[in-house]
Every structure is written in structure tokens, then in C-alpha cells.
Amino acid sequence: MSDLVGVENRDGISLVTIDNPPVNALSLGVPEGLAVALDQIEKDSSIRAAVLMGAGRTFVAGADIREFGKIKPGSQRCAGHLALFYRVESCAKPIVAAIHGTAFGGGLELAMSAHYRVAVADAQLGQPEVKLGLIPGAGGTQRLPRLAGLAKAVEMCAQGNPIKATEAHQLGIIDRIVEGDLLAGAIAFAKEVSGKPAPKTRERNEELGNAAENAPIFASARQNAQRKQRGLMAPLAAIDAIEAATRMRFEPGCEEEQRLFLQCLFSEQSKALIHVFFGEREVAKIPDVPKETPTIPVNSVGVVGAGTMGGGIAMVFANAGIPVLLKEADQAALDRGLRTIKNNYEISVSRGRFTRAFVDQRMKLIRPTLSFEEFGGVDMIVEAVFEGMALKKEVFAELDRVCKPGAILASNTSSLSIDEIAKATSRPHLVIGTHFFSPANVMRLVEIVRGAATSKEAIATCMSLTKRLGKIGVLVGNCFGFVGNRMFGPYRREAQFLVEEGADIEAVDKAMYEFGMAMGPLATGDLAGLDVGWRIRKENPQLFKEASRKAFIEDRLCELGRFGQKTGAGWYKYDDKRQAASDAEVSALISTWSTKAGIPQRMIAGEEIVERLIYTLVNEGARILEEGYALRAVDIDIIYLNGYGFPSYRGGPMWYADRVGLRQVLQRIREFEQRFGNWWKPAPLLVRLAGQGQTFSELAAKQTVAA
Ligand code: T1G
Ligand code: NAD
């Protein structure tokens, strides 16, 4: 008997407990233990029914994702779950799945193969496989539509979002919501149904509709997937599998599901998304800041500056139920900031994201002020005033004076040195960077910037706080532009070079959009504001003196006041609905200045555009890793997926390079260095890894980031 599955006889009810912490995944030994339990249930005449339950905090959270990498084409591993669940369903004695925590993926498939399901009200049920680039592979696409109906099954499998047990009860997936003790409730239920015929989900076809009524459901689901999950193959495969359930009997339907599942499993997309799944968990681990490091309680915060970022950051804290003191320089700016917050909330209510009551509550948590004197009681401050060192130091000196000794002082600076800012205070150990991304109330990423003196407590506090805010915190070192912007600068510079050499603005953006980026580099510049980079270039000429070539078009655009969407024109011109259109004036400006600079014009293929832009990210990422400003390559990947719209199904720039092959990437970079110039000098780490046939992913985590 596997020690991962326990069986005991409770007065004629067999209690089968899966005990495989932390999430009772169907790891090796669990299906085997379940098979033995089934033998006992079937053979033991004293057993009238059975209850299936997870030990600890959850039911089964799915197949063991770590095992997927070991599955080779032709292996029976996943078909194994299918066969086992068929046996569960075929058992003559009723089996009741008792659900708490999460029943996800193979966990929900197991529960649906049981004859009945009971759950506590706050349990969650879902088929999140598409988030791993997969589809349910153990009968989920065949059983879920039979229980929940077609439309809901398509939604759950194609989008991958969980539902609460209460909704699952209304849908007919769950037979009873158990108040109080789940085990007692499940055993009582099992006693009620023992001796009755055990209903098989696979025989329930009444919810499968007919071709005519189903066609619009599948059509709109496919449209939705192509629009909202652009480039992802798994959502479409999940829809195909569910459609098979409406066209075929159960068993051939499962075979079709298996075929589509294996297609996804062996795809590059799934490998990338599984890398992302574990990456999002890995970035929370900082080798020299162990998880037992004490944290500073944060139950109230102050935000200084209510502009583009300050307003969004105040909403993030209020949404998490943390009271916010929001300070501005003057009443007009404060009113403007509060108006923007209110408008953003109105948009969320109109889109059904928040209820009116929720928004009213949250607005009450945001208290405006014009005085620093009120900051004496707050646990943490996030500063988001204009990007200038002198002003930041002035503000931090004030905060250091008025805030209580243990309060953390964080800056949302996107490029300035945390160490320099900390010099304005008497508490450099409590000064840290919390670099949110615009719009702060939407973007999931927060770069947490470690200064030379920043304490482990301050780091641990900010890492756990970002999780509490529903964000992903990634620890980075204190170099110029930290990790994300340090890579993004050269990326956007290379985009300018491509345009200066003759590539169309639209062609550059289109190539990157088709590669999967949320937006092309030039359109992104217009969104963020071309003046932000212009001011940084003017204030930090030392940063660009090395490169033998300087991009010039954006400076020319800014000199004409074309800052992008905020001024109605940048690389593109914008109408009052911010719809972009190409602008002949810009094309003329480019050819004038490129001719003046003597840059030969040529047609540039999409492939070269993608390679030059992505390999720029990779090369700079390799330098950052080597210099120790990021702990792992996956940290860079998670930053780019959650802060810069890099396609998740490509895993991030460093993972992508690993999959292309570092030798191939290096060879192309060397060719670009030959053709274009020294800014393409390959990063020493890339040269070394390519030489040794290694990958970025194999690099061990650094102990800590460089300050
Ligand atoms: N397999 C292996 N490890 C897993 C795992 C899984 N399914 N789920 C979680 N872990 C690890 C995770 O890496 C972390 O490890 C620890 O458990 C705690 O997780 C056949 C094909 C359940 C909501 O997609 O969504 O079934 O970092 O930090 O925030 O058709 O984990 O501590 O070393 O996330 O409380 C489908 C994935 C699989 C669910 C808990 N199932 N898991 O969240 O903890 S495919 C999923 C989650 C499948 C079938 C198909 C969440 C959670 P470490 P955590 P949490
Ligand atoms: P912004 O110009 O929109 O807002 C700055 C606000 O600070 C203004 O409203 C101004 O009135 C206020 N302010 C100035 N002095 C003040 C003082 N003494 N007390 C209180 N308020 C004061 O700028 P932003 O885009 O929100 O940027 C703020 C910070 O966030 C900068 O450091 C910037 O680099 C960083 N950042 C910006 C973005 C972005 O995309 N805009 C993204 C990440 C980080």
C-alpha cells in the first residue's frame, strides 16, 4: 500500500485519504495507492460506500506538474489517470469525493469520476491546465460538460479560472455543500447513498445539447480565445476536446482528448508555461533571506505623489484593505489625483470587476493630505513624486523626520539609485525600491530593489507584502534602470536603429506583436511617454557614451513636443479615442535625418527585426545575471512577462534563448556585432554558457543580488 494513500473502514464506509503535501498532487505512488484502495473497496463486503478526501489544506490540486518533463512520447503515464478514473467510476459501490481547498485539474477529474461530490462552501474547483499550455488529460473535457453543461465547461477549460463550490453546486457539479466538519458531512452523505445505484458521470448525456444549439457556443468560445488568449494553442485544443464530447461516445471522446492533450504536452508552449508556473514560485525564494526572516507589520501606508503612479499604487493598497494616506504637493494636484482614482474605480465597476459597495469602501480607505506631519503613524511609505534625485532626497529627508523609527521608506523610482536616495535619511536599512509598473492597479509586477544597506527584514516585508497585494515581487539589484528598464532601454534603442535603417514603424511593431508581445516597442514608447526616456538620456549622458552609435529619432520627435499618446502624437498620431494612425510627417522626418546621418536604407525582414530586438534583451539580461543584479534567469523572465508584455507561452527572453540554443543566439549576436557595432558585443556569460553547451536555466541561483 503506498503511504501516500490511506484507507480505513469507518463503520462500513471506506475513508480513502490522499496525503501528499503540499497540495496532494497525483504524484507517483498516489494513483497506485488509489488503485489498491479500489481493490479493497470492491472486495471487502463490509464496505457499503467510500469517501475520497485530501489530507491537510486541500483536495487534489492536479497531476504532479514536475513529472510532465519526464513523460516521453508513447508513455502511458497520463493515460494511466484516465484508466484509473474509469475504474473509480465503474465501482459498484458509491464513491463520494469530499472537497476542501482546491480540486484542480486531475483533482477535479478524479472527483467527477466519483459518483457524488460534496464540498465546503469556500472550496475552489477548476481545470487550470490551459495556464500550463495543456488541456485536461484524464477525462475532464468529457465529464465536465456532462455535469456543468457545455457553455460552463468550455469557459472553465478554455480560460482555466476556478469557480467557488457554491457556484459548482448551482451548476450540478457538487451534490451538497457541507456546513461545518467536512469529513462528518461526507460520511453521512455516503451512508445516505450507500446501497443505491452509483450514477456514472460518463452516462449522463442530457447536458450535451445538439450540433445546432452547440455551434454558437463553440464559435464564440474560439473567437474569445483567439482574441483574449492570442497565440495560445491550448485553449483552442480544450474547445476541440469538448466539442468531441458532443460528437462522440464517451470512450472515443476520451481518446480524442488524449490525442490533443499529448499534442499540447510535447509543445514548446507547454514547456514555457510550466517554466513560468514554477518561476512565479521560485522568484519568491531569496537564498540569503530565508522565509522565516521576521517581517515588519504593514497595516497602514502613506503614498507621496498622486500622479500616474501614486494614484494607482494607492488603489492597490486600498484594494487589499490597507488604509492609505495620500499626499500631494498642492490641492489642485490632490484633487486631480483623487479624480483619476475615482474614474479608474468607475471603469472597474462598469466592467463588473468591482461592486459599487466595494469601491465606496475602498475610497474611504484613501485619506488625502497636503502635510507630511500626518505620516507619523504609518508603517510604510511609497514615494512616487517626479523622477529627479534632488526632489526625491528632499522628500526622503522629510519622511525620515516625521515617520516612526521602524517605518519602511520605499521609492517607486524607475531608474534612480536607492543608495543615493537612502543617504538623505538616518535609516538606510529601511530604504528600499518598490518599482510598480503602469498602470499600477493593473500590472502584476513589482521590482523590489535592494540597496547596499537594505535590511533582510525590509526585503522580506516587501516580498510578502507584494503577494498580499496580489502582485508578483521580484528582487533586483540597484543598477541603473534595475532589471526591466535596463534591458528595455537597449531594446527600444534597437527599435529606433531598425527604423533609421529603413524598417517601417508599423513593420517593427507588427513583427513584435506577431511574436506575441502585448504591444510593439514604438507603440509602447508612445504609451509610456517618449519624454520619460528623453529626460533620462539628457540627465545621464554618461550612460550612452560607450555605444559607437546613438539613436536619434525619438530625440527629434520629443524636440517637436511629440511625447506620444499624452500629446496626441509620437511615433504615431492619435485621435481623441487614442486610436493610432501612421503619420507621414514622421516618415519624412526619419528619411531626412537618416539621410543626414548617412545611414543606408534597406528592406528589413520580420525575422531580423525579432532577432535583433529579442537578442538585445537576452544579451543585456546575460550581463545583468553576470553582474548579479538578478538572482536567476527565471527572475528576468518573470519580470518581462509581468511588466513588459512578453508572451507567456515563450517563457520569457532568457528561456526563449535557451530554447533557441545559446550557440545559435551567440552566433547571430556576433554577426550583428560585425554588421552594426560594438553595442552588440556578446555578454561574457553568454559566450561562456554557449561554449560549455549550458543554458541560463541551469545557472544556479545567486545567494543575493548586487547592490
Ligand atoms: N504539481 C507539482 N507541484 C505543485 C503543484 C502540482 N500540480 N501545485 C503546486 N505545487 C507546488 C508548488 O510548486 C509549490 O512548491 C507548492 O506546491 C505550493 O504551491 C491530468 C494534466 C494549488 C492553488 O495547475 O494552482 O492535472 O515552491 O506556492 O499559493 O488533466 O499551487 O513550495 O517548492 O502555489 O497555496 C493542474 C497548480 C495540473 C494547479 C496552491 N493543476 N497549483 O497555491 O501554493 S495539470 C494545477 C496551483 C493536470 C490533468 C492535468 C496552486 C494551488 P514550492 P503554491 P498556493
Ligand atoms: P507624475 O508626474 O504623473 O506624478 C508625480 C506627482 O508627484 C505629481 O502629481 C506631483 O504633483 C507630485 N509631487 C511632486 N512633488 C511632491 C511633493 N513634494 N509631495 C507630494 N507630491 C509631490 O509621475 P509618475 O509617472 O507618476 O512617476 C512618479 C514616479 O514613478 C517617478 O519616480 C517615475 O520614474 C516612477 N515610475 C513611473 C512610471 C510610469 O510609467 N509613469 C512607471 C514606474 C515608475
Query: What dihedral angle (degrees, nearest 10) is formed by the CA atoms of 361, 366, 368, 374?
Result: 120
Tens of pLDDT, residues 462-507: 999 999 999 999 999 999 999 999 999 999 999 999 999 999 999 9
According to DSSP, the residues that pair with 507 across neighbouring strands are none
User: 132 CB under 6 A from ligand 1?
Assistant: yes
For residue 407, what is the DSSP state? -
H/E run at residue 5: strand 5-10
Residue 197: the pLDDT is: 85
Which ligand 2 atom lies nearest to the CA of residue 310? Answer: 26
pLDDT, mean over the chain: 95
Cis peptide before 684 (omega within 30 of 0): no
Q: What is the CB < 6 Å shell around ligand 2?
A: 304-310, 327-329, 333, 384-387, 391, 395, 412-414, 435-438, 528
Residue 97 backbone phi and psi in degrees, to 5: -90, 130
pLDDT at 18 over 70: yes
Task: Give me ligand 1 centre to Cα 543, in Å.
Answer: 43
Cα separation, 207 vs 224, in Å, equals 22
pLDDT of res. 1: 55
Is any atom of ligand 1 closer than 6 Å to the C-beta of 508?
Answer: no
User: Is the predicted pLDDT of residue 94 greater than 60, yes or no?
Assistant: yes
- Bridge partners of residue 14, in order along the sequence: 9, 50
What pLDDT, in 10s, does the model give residues 299-348?
999 999 999 999 999 999 999 999 999 999 999 999 999 999 999 999 99
* Percent composition of the chain: helix, strand, coil (DSSP 3-state, to 5): 55, 10, 35
272 CA distance to ligand 1 middle (Å):
16
- Note the pLDDT of residue 27: 96
Q: Active-site residue 109, yes or no?
A: yes
Surface-to-core class of residue 613, CB atoms within 10 Å of its CB (0-12 exposed, 13-18 middle, 19+ buried):
buried
Q: Are 636 and 621 in contact (CB under 8 A)?
A: yes
The yes-or-no verdict on residue 75 having pLDDT over 70 is: no
Looking at residue 611, its pLDDT comes to 98
Give the cell for residue 134: 495543456
**For a pocket test of ligand 1, which of 18, 65, 271 has the largest count of ligand atoms closer than 8 A to its C-beta?**
65
pLDDT tens across 379-437, in order? 999 999 999 999 999 999 999 999 999 999 999 999 999 999 999 999 999 999 999 99
| Angle separating helix axes 653-660 and 662-675, nearest 10 degrees | 100
The full DSSP string for 535-573 is HHHHH-GGGGSSSSS---HHHHHHHTT--BGGGTBSSSE
**Angle 513-446-480 from CA coordinates, rounded to 5°:** 85
Model pLDDT, residue 523: 96
Given a cut of 70, whether residue 443 has pLDDT beyond it is yes
- Which phi and psi (to 5°) does residue 618 adopt? -65, -45
Contact 430, 414 (CB under 8 A): no
| pLDDT at res. 266 | 95
Higher pLDDT, 487 or 79: 487
pTM for the whole structure:
0.95
Question: In angstroms, what is the span from residue 386 Cα to ligand 2's centroid?
Answer: 4
| pLDDT surpassing 90 at residue 635 | yes
Give the Cα separation of 529 and 240 in Å (integer): 42
Residue-level pLDDT at 549: 85
pLDDT of residue 340: 95
CA of 24, nearest ligand number: 1
Cα–Cα distance for residue pair 446/466, rounded to 1 Å: 7
CB contact at 8 A, 311 and 351: no
User: Could you give the CA distance from residue 235 to residue 131 in angstroms, rounded to a whole number?
Assistant: 9
- Which residue is closest in CA terms to ligand 1's atom 28? 281
From the CB of 137, is ligand 1 less than 6 Å away? yes
* Whole-number pLDDT of residue 80: 74
Catalytic residue among 89, 129, 383, 620: 129
> Measured from the CA of 436, which atom of ligand 2 is nearest?
43
Of 62-76, 214-228, 552-566, the least confident: 62-76
Q: What is the pLDDT of residues 115-164, one digit of tens each?
A: 999 999 999 999 999 999 999 999 999 999 999 999 999 999 999 999 99
- For residues 696 and 689, give the distance between their C-alpha atoms in angstroms, rounded to a whole number: 7
Residues 680, 672: contact at Cβ < 8 Å? Answer: yes
| pLDDT (average), residues 429-456 | 97
Determine which residue's CA is closest to atom 25 belonging to ligand 2: 308
- The answer on pLDDT for 684 being more than 70 is yes
* Atom of ligand 2 minimally distant from the CA of 330: 11
As a whole number, mean pLDDT of residues 355-381 equals 96
Calpha distance 334→340 (Å, rounded): 10
Band (pLDDT 50/70/90 cuts) for residue 707 is low
Q: Any bridge partners for residue 449, and if so which?
A: 433, 476
Verify whether residue 282 is a known catalytic residue: no
Give the distance (Å) from ligand 2 centre to CA of residue 311: 9
